[in-house]
Amino acid sequence: MSGAGDEPFIAAVKPLVDAMGGEMIPPDEAGPDDVVLSWEGRDAVAVRLPQLADSLDHILAAMERRKGVPLADLDRRAKQEVVRILEARGAFSVRHGVETVASALGVSRFTVYNYLNREKGA
């Protein structure tokens, strides 16, 4: 990407970029919506952030990896916890967020709304 002195910095931020579903690109290829990260006074790397809908898919995949089983195989309580975490991360502000989450959990949209309402009433 940039100079050899930047490689430890790039290696350090890569897990964060991967977790966000972003893409690391050379700083000179950065567009207006990309985030350029500087290291020791020089542009080291640019990060292209994912679209929100892609981020939700990435978050769901990461949660599934963390749980070690498909989200649809979780019990009701674990699915409610997933919905609570996703709500805190803004998943339901994304267009078709409820449908995407319902599909990943193997439940209906109605069930996801029930989980959300249960949290608000608690």
HEC states along the chain?
Answer: CCCHHHHHHHHHHHHHHHHHCCEEECHHHCCCCCEEEEECCEEEEEEECCCHHHHHHHHHHHHHHHHCCCHHHCCHHHHHHHHHHHHHCCHHHCCCHHHHHHHHHCCCHHHHHHHHHHHHHC
Pick the more confident residue, 86 or 49. 86
- pLDDT score recorded for residue 56: 86
**Segment 21-33 mean pLDDT:** 92
Does this model's pTM top 0.85? My answer is no
- pLDDT score recorded for residue 2: 47
| The pLDDT of residue 120 is above 80 | no
pLDDT digits (tens, 9 = 90+) for 29-62: 999 989 999 999 999 999 998 776 677 888 898 8
